[in-house]
Amino acid sequence: MERTEGTEGNRSLAETETWSGSWSDKLIFFVNGKKIVERNADPEMTLLTYLRRKLGLTGTKLGCAEGGCGACTVMLSRYQPHTDQLLHYAVNACLAPLCSLHLVAVTTVEGIGSVARKLHPVQERIAKAHGSQCGFCTPGIVMSMYALLRNNPTPKMADVEEAFQGNLCRCTGYRPILEGYKTLTMEGGCCGGQGRENGCCLTNVRADLNSQEDADEATSLFNAADFVPFDPTQEVIFPPELMTLCKGQMPRSLRFRGERVTWLQPANLDEFLHLKWQHPDARVVVGNTEVGIEVKFKNMLYPVIISPSFIPELHAVVHVDDGIEFGAACSLSHMGAVLRMAVQTLPPHQIQVFLAVLEQLRWFAGQQIRNVAAVGGNIMTASPISDLNPVFMAAGCKLTLICKDSRRVVPIDDRFFVGYRRTALRPEEVLLSVHIPFSKEGQFVSAFKQSPRREDDISIVTAAMSVTFATGSDVVEELRLSYGGMAATTVLAKKTAEKLIGRSWGEELLEDACSSLAEELTLDLSAPGGMVPYRQTLTLSLFYKFYLTVLQKLHLQGVAVAEVGADCLSATEVYQPETLSSTQIFQEVPEDQSKDDMVGRPMMHLSAMKHATGEAVYCDDIPLYENELYLAFITSTKAHARILSIDVSAAERVPGVVSFLFASDIPGSNITGPVNSDETVLADDQVTCVGHIIGAVMADTQSQAQRAAKAVRVEYEELPAIITIQEAIAAQSFYQPVTTLQRGDLEAGFKQADHVLEGEIHMGGQEHFYLETNATVAIPKGEDGEMELYVSTQNTTKTQYLVSKALGVPSNRILVRVKRMGGGFGGKESRTMMLSTVVAVAANKLKRPVRCMLDRDEDMLITGGRHPFYGKYKVGFLNSGKVVALDVSYYSNSGNSMDLSYAIMLRALFHMENSYSIQNIRGQGFLCRTNLPSNTAFRGFGGPQGMMVAESWITDVAQRLGKSPEEVRRLNLYVEGDSTPYNQILERLTLDRCWDECLLRSGYDQQRAAINLYNRENRWTKRGLAVVPTKFCVSFNTIFLNQAGALVHIYTDGSVLLTHGGTEMGQGLHTKMVQVASRALGIPHSKIHISETSTNTVPNSSATAASVSSDLNGAAIQIACQTLVKRLEPYRIGNPKGTWEDWVRAAYMDRVSLSANGFYKTPDLDFDFSTNTGRAFSYFSYGVACSEVEIDCLTGAHKNLNTIIVMDVGTSLNPAIDIGQVEGAFMQGLGLFTLEELHYSPDGVLLTRGPGSYKIPAFGDIPANLTVSLLRDAPNEKAIYSSKAVGEPPLFLAASVFYAIKDAISAARAESGLSGPFRLDSPASAEKIRMACSDRFTQMFSEAEPGTFRPWSVRV
């Protein structure tokens, strides 16, 4: 039936629902002030897809598609008729349904400023404060800050930190972002040099400089006085037309019908109830934070969605006599604001429940999720690990449920959640409101959440506890203990509570409670989520915290109870984050250095402003080509199996599907691999890992291609699979060769030793989590087999070669182009070719452009990561602590192909002694062949794994001798002239200088004394300290890779185009190369431009890797520039008063070439591994870090308190970039050693496939006090302008945090009478920390014997 305005438009949805036909309403919304009228709004489309694909606004990025990274953050603005106010709030565009935006104003990063127009202060400050490296996360961070300022023009730093809880950055280490935005806060606002009463930033910096002994030492990377002032009155206004529409329109029903889904938006409560009665199976959606995930990742399809977002009753907040009633559609942010107001105005005894809810809301997801997630949605999701449901249950909250014919009120108790993600609601019922009661006199309520990461993380165990006492007594009248994460639903420990009623709150009650809880809250050993003994221990630990907290409060109220000992008080403290304090120290350039010479100055990343405005173009931002198709992978669901059949019939029926691709479609060779040709482009008859690429689907859109790929049915015959290192050892499943590096006489060394100890450590893998996933666009040129590829890769040449091999054409027909990457970290060195080769073959087959950008879950599943390592060692040492013999074996989980595993193991062996001189040493490396996706290069390339094992044995030595680990480390440190295990003499060694400066800046002795005192005074929190050095070998292991080319063009207007073989992935390589060329040519950097990296300008380039790209490409550029300077010299001499442009024009008129190539190879590299002779590396980078941590012995949570890093980067080319690299590498290492865990099922299925389950460090994980000092007066003659490599060397310094944690655990173990070496595997997760702090709670639960049950996940 044709729909005309003015007839059906006035009817309700309930009335029209029985009509035939497929009409949809018009969706009206505004984007950056421009009116959008969408007549065919698709309920399955997100705002992000619409912005990027329909409107071409690509500044908003796709990072995860699950609301976990913040890259897609935009601001929504709504007019609220009931308050006559505008509401501005940040949301995740990847989850926001397009159909939810009727009469909403959307502001994206493009809408607030641009490079051509003018940058908004929020954009300018993150750029000029060096808060952007790869830039992919930057637009989202900008918009989070912008939304905060729209609501609060004078925020505090705590507000800024809260606003960023839903944003991730993998590059910067977060510090410069916070420093830049601190200038917009009350604590750090800039007065522009006007002289604020409480101290001007300029005055303070100058005072700091004047107080320094070294006049050439600088501590400021940017000048806040340069920033444009922030004027909140100049913001973009709410569109007047939209305001008129909002005010002039009565609430009306809306219907949007898509291909598979109908979206119904009722105008009032009656209509909502009628629709739910008509469609009992319809999903009710408010924020889409749960349904969006189900649809995207669990392949759920809901044909009817009801969105009651504008029904007043569902948003009402009603203050009643015994509490507050919240409408079920109230956002968590709004609920938090109401509760905070109540806490400020109500008497203390009434707000206990509210405080518990607020405590959970502090750590509930990120701000973008809290802004849209409804309190009712959180309850109805019925998650067993819900943060809020235990509080609602413990507090006795009540729910009002209504349907078309009835209304009832039910308590949230053990009968409400009837099963996994199921509630007692009838299908036609809806949740109207939640009643949160006031607490009573004598009632105490606490809430707890333990998760892998504090910010924006799902729980391991949550708990809420409420106890009520008779007035003035310690006798329990009522007790409710509610837990999440201990069953398939939120549970009440009713048996335990019943036993404790009528008992006095004391030690006897505590003992009985713990025994009862241990019996009542049991978990199956195979329970989803694993960590069973830890979770059981947490139930007791959290109750003990509650016990102490209540005991302390009773004591303060004058009730006669035992006083909580001073040493236990820290267990009752609620975590309060500290605001970051940081210092950056670097050497100023000489006073006589030309102002145009930017080498050594903290110059901003050349693309930073484009990052901040969303104008920087990444691979998937390239506009769609005419006739372009989208590709999606068909991947294996088995770890090892034969393919029996592939059925595409269901996939063929998906609209938009054009073609399929399998091994038989490859015109050239199906054999591939970056080094060893031991892989296939597409699986032929066998798969060897889950995620193995079997084929691909090409369709008109991404969603169609992905739907079709999931519809392909593959039949398998399963084969035996090897998943873990231990299984590979048992089966002797190794790639050859087994590698050995040896020097000295091991037997004699062990005979010389006073002590010999053996140990082992396992180090988990790591996901790269570059914010931009792998992406490729392939465009066939239509003649001679030519093809152009835009690829997000670190390795253009290898991409070119493998594509040409698969297509059966010479490399000269394939052009690979890289503008920039949104992060790489080694993950785009070799594994990108899996994607680019398949996309190229598809484009060749169909003779049409083909595009693919992997979703986060696909990227994590398919591409591999850092190699997990298992290290076994035997170490001989003297009574002094001097190590005289070491025998170490490394086992890496290489996966289903060799990839770069051999070179990674070589580098592990080259770093097996870290920074310690050992005369008798042997290292062996075994590459485990398993049925996991092939692991690959990752920042450090085996070095961190090698050094981690070294720090384990040196800590064991110290603990065996009862000495300080720092004393033993210092004793064994290399000195100038020492020789490495590969017989390279150490020259210009600065390790000792780094060590001494680090200890001096940290005040190590005073710090150690303060920690010892703290640990004596506190039983349940302990502090630890560690100083860890690093020595990083600089050069590619493989000699021929140590080469680079450059091409420099000077145009007749004097502008310079620079091209080199390195790729820009956020590390600032292009910026540094422009600085190098600027000095070499003697011209301002503004005259020099780098457009891209491509195989048709600089051929045969090595991968941008091994931290040598500045060294190699910088030297090649310098050589090319020197050639040009020599050619221009006669014209400069002939016209000494002329300008650069004059000399260039004169040379051109004289027919002199203004284009030059440069080529450089690292000299003197000739190492032979078989004989252990020759020079292996050009030079070494050194650094030392001192870190202090505090652990919570009851939960395993830890705080990073202080870190001081001293790094030798030679003479820095750019201190801002180098300090950014140090901090970014350190934070990535912090994730590796303390946070990031990849979980695999026993069948080899990766269980952690996105930011919801895999946690990289967030803003709140930065050490509260962070100092980075670049070592002064340490020029390096081996590299360009005396600089040194900086990308990888600092990463291992984060091990100082790991070993500080181990130090703190040692103090906790001492309380239980345990001393000496103990094993702590990496990462030092909350689980491992808690279980290592052996005490009476952990001892109530024992680890089950492996093989007696099927674990949820295995250590690979």
Catalytic amino acids? 1288
Amino acid (one-letter) located at 853: M
Quote the strand ranges of 498-640, DSSP E.
Answer: 581-587, 629-635
As to burial, measured by CB atoms within 10 angstroms (0-12 exposed, 13-18 middle, 19+ buried), residue 599 is buried
Q: How far apart are the first and last CA of the chain?
A: 59
Closest CA to 1226 of 1301, 1297, 1300: 1297
Four-residue CA torsion sign, 1038, 914, 942, 1101 = negative
CB 806 within 8 A of CB 840: yes
What does the block give as tokens for 105?
């104003």
What is the number of residues in the chain?
A: 1356
Distance CA 1196, CA 1208 (A): 34
Distance CA 424, CA 490 (A): 13
Who contacts 885 (Cβ-Cβ below 8 Å, separation ≥6)? 744, 746, 749, 750, 752, 753, 756, 874, 875, 876, 918, 919, 920, 921
Q: What angle do CA 1104, 1106, 1112 make, to 5 degrees?
A: 65
Between strands 775-780 and 920-929, the pairing is: unpaired
In angstroms, how far apart are the furthest CA atoms of the chain? 103
Between the CA atoms of 1041, 1047, 1048 and 1052, what dihedral angle is there, to the nearest 10 degrees? 180
Radius of gyration of the chain (CA): 32
Distance CA 940, CA 903 (A): 12
Distance CA 780, CA 841 (A): 10
Between strands 1088-1089 and 1056-1060, the pairing is: parallel
Give Cα 1158 distance to the centre of its chain.
Answer: 38
Amino acid (one-letter) located at 528: P
Any idea what DSSP says for residue 1325?
-
Q: Is 926 left (phi over 0), alpha (psi -120 to 50) or beta?
A: beta
On the CB side of 476, CA atoms within 13 Å amount to 24
Distance CA 996, CA 511 (A): 50
Who contacts 1087 (Cβ-Cβ below 8 Å, separation ≥6)? 1054, 1055, 1056, 1078, 1140
Tell me if the bond preceding 1323 is cis, omega within 30° of 0.
Answer: yes
| Secondary structure of residue 437 in the 3-state scheme | strand
Give Cα 18 distance to the centre of its chain.
Answer: 48
CB 880 within 8 A of CB 655: no
Q: How far is CA 128 from CA 156, 598, 794, in A?
A: 21, 15, 26
Give the H or E element holding residue 818: strand 814-818
Instruction: Give 921's strand partners.
Output: 743, 886
Who contacts 736 (Cβ-Cβ below 8 Å, separation ≥6)? none
Distance CA 969, CA 918 (A): 12
Who contacts 917 (Cβ-Cβ below 8 Å, separation ≥6)? 972, 973, 974, 975, 978
Amino acid (one-letter) located at 550: V
